[in-house]
Chain A
């Protein structure tokens, strides 16, 4: 298989990774061991964009809000929409990053590092090294977490356990939202 074919045929891995991250953080499993670097906590925060392909073309839903449970987005998941991108927070030790992660190319947008100590006026190289370190630290943490996802995804447990558990979580989210809609309507 050519590289581009492989890239196209496995694009769903990015969407499933974001879904898995959401599921893990929502069920209290969003802490990952990074080895020497300690532990990383990751969670979805504030904004999520989902998409599905229908007979009428692409349908996109963007949900934003303070509510961490993001009920409307969970409802969209239950409607078989997939995550295109999500706002994420990452914490390693005392440092916290925020960014939007895209599922197709795993690009980072709206990426904010923790506050840097060096403002660059007196020591431009100091600012450079501090920023480079903070960018690489976040990228490396996300990659390690992606690697953990991939190992799980390739294991027999994905089909025998995770598919059902995540499926149930998706259904519960959809039902919760539908129920809340009904209550609001009343």
Chain B
């Protein structure tokens, strides 16, 4: 989801506030390594994911260090997927099965044979499927450590956190009521462990 235009949805994380020594040195190389690559039309790959320019989803070269916007690092995670509509797959598989039955004078096909036919049809259709592209923006404030990622779907968020670790060598901590509390209580020099003693408030019990 875009953070730059329209309504956004986002999850928050904290990265290390202090960047490791030599962080900038290998950064361009790592960005290139984990940059987005187009799905090859001839390949059977169903999915491709990687970083692109936050202001231009068709630019994954990062030749001018476009991801550095001091004090931010800003990029988008682009995920392209080829999907075959299930009804189309069913229809073409059924047609293929009928053809085999006719050619081989069979009354029915075994389950294994039907599965083979379905897989062959799926691979044939996959080559014709146009990939659907989605981008999820990320803004990382390297001064505060706050990382804002433009998605709230757990599967995509997990993939983002993993790719972030591979690229930047840092684990992200997802923010939630407890971890947010840790941050704020820590700033005020109060012990976050105070939260451990809390239990849900019974507002409607007699006072």
Contact = CB atoms under 8 A, between A and B. Distances in A.
B65 to A, nearest CB: 13
A147 B186 CA distance: 11
Interface stretch (A10-18, A42-50, A55-63, A68-76): A10-18
A109 B175 CA distance: 15
B177 A13 contact: yes
A108 B10 contact: yes
Nearest to A105: B176
A14 B200 CA distance: 11
Contacts of B201: 12, 16, 158, 163, 166
A104 to B, nearest CB: 7
Interface of A: 1, 3, 6-7, 9-14, 16-17, 19, 78, 80, 102-112, 120, 124-125, 127-129, 131-132, 135-136, 139, 143, 146-147, 150-151, 153-154, 158, 163-164, 166-167, 170-171
A150 B184 contact: yes
Interface string B165-199: 00000000011111111011100101000111011
29 contacts: A3-B178, A9-B196, A11-B176, A11-B177, A11-B178, A13-B177, A13-B178, A13-B198, A80-B204, A105-B174, A106-B12, A106-B180, A108-B10, A109-B152, A120-B55, A129-B69, A135-B139, A136-B146, A136-B148, A139-B12, A143-B183, A146-B177, A146-B181, A150-B181, A154-B194, A166-B201, A166-B203, A167-B204, A167-B207
Given A12-B200, A14-B177, A6 B195 contact: yes
Nearest to B55: A124
B93 interface: no
B146 A139 contact: yes
A131 B203 contact: no
A107 B177 contact: no
B177 A147 contact: no
A118 B101 CA distance: 64
Interface in B99-133: none
Contacts of B183: 143
Contact of B72 (A14, A132, A167): A132
Contact of A111 (B8, B185, B202): B8
A135 B176 contact: no
B23 to A, nearest CB: 20
B181 A13 contact: yes
B200 to A, nearest CB: 4
A150 B3 contact: no
Contacts of A12: 199-201
B54 interface: yes
A1 B139 CA distance: 32
Given A14-B176, A135-B3, A108 B181 contact: no
B24 interface: no
The 7 closest A-B pairs by CB, nearest first: A13-B177, A147-B184, A167-B203, A14-B177, A12-B200, A164-B207, A109-B9
